[in-house]
Amino acid sequence: MLVIGIIGSGAMGAGIAQVVATAGHQVHLLDQNAAALERAMASIATSLRKLTEKGKLTAEATAAAIARLHPTASMADFADCGLVVEAIVEDLAVKQQVFKQVEDIVPTDCVLASNTSSLSITSIAAACQRPERFIGIHFFNPAPLMQLVEVIPAVQTRAGLAEEIKALVAGWGKRPVLAQDTPGFIVNRVARPFYGEAIRILEEGIADIATIDWALTELGGFRMGPFALMDFIGHDVNYRVTESVFTAFFYDPRYRPSFTQRRLFEAGYYGRKAGRGFYDYAPGAAQPEPTRDPALGQQILHRVLSMLINEAAEALHLRVASAPDLELAMTAGVNYPKGLLAWADELGPATVLATLDHLYHDYHEDRYRASVLLRRLARNHQTFLSA
């Protein structure tokens, strides 16, 4: 069984450590901050004990998983690792420097991986002496609960490694998907219109935040509306991802951030964690009531949904991922009520295209340009999952 090193004991690092320790691996959890390590170990122990109380793990399995965790402040402890996963700050230079240090310690056949959600895997790999053993393994937060894991080979990654990692991740009880090393990979790329188009509708005064959230949850079946979800994620995270994707796509208008969210970010109104975001989370604060107008709700839903479908269509057209992996990513990764390609097939590609073309005609903005694949399927009366 592989010995695994985890760099960083924050929420993601601790969560990944819990996953792999529970799966039977000896784990070296590295952090230079002793207090952070102590908090991580306590958090993992608490999480495992809760699983025991719920009957999902035996007391023996919990004790064994905790015993496999070895907190450390010394990278020298990685000398016996077969896999090292980095989960630290989203800073390319910092990650590159860390992996340069790791390579001096680990065996030559040790696989190196980053949990980055927004940086180029190829760029991180370029700092390594053996970039062919580098790969992206992107978990979602909280790692012990979220099933999806994106596996992202770099340009330099050796043939076969991605499939090996997919099999390893599946053995941990996760559901891996394979993504190209493009900005946002699958989920953080395809999901951008859920936030961006909702904000655009708000900025235009078509509906308020409560009504937009109501339309997407009550009529669309999404578990959380876009504004509640952005507040939950935190604008310090969500806005930065949007900005990163926009920049990485050479400022493609489809991914342009909004001034509305930027102002919340600048004010420190990060959402739930700060007590204020799009909603007010102060004790006793009155929450806005939606306008439950079915016609308005359907207009909102179809506009946002058409943008999401278009993004999934473009990702499929450009071979960012296969159709099954795109569908799995959005259902298992962000809990969409159904896969976007299947949803497109239910509505009919021609219907989705008509919505986008109508928006493009009104706005003449490139953000509403339809994917060539969507247009082709609509013209030929085909569907995504049978094409």
Return the active site residues: 117, 138, 150, 188
Give residue 75's Cα distance to chain centre.
28
Nearest-5° Cα angle at 222, 267 to 349: 110
Give residue 136's identity as a one-letter amino acid code: G
Find out whether the peptide bond into 288 is cis, omega within 30 degrees of 0: no
DSSP H/E element including 281: none
- Nearest Cα to Cα of residue 229 among 286, 259, 191, 179: 191
- Nearest Cα to Cα of residue 151 among 26, 20, 322, 17: 322
Cα gap 257→251, rounded to integer Å: 10
Nearest-5° Cα angle at 288, 282 to 294: 150
Q: Residue holding tokens 């090996």?
A: 164
Q: Where are the alpha helices (DSSP H) in 68-181?
A: 92-103, 121-125, 161-171
Give residue 387's identity as a one-letter amino acid code: A
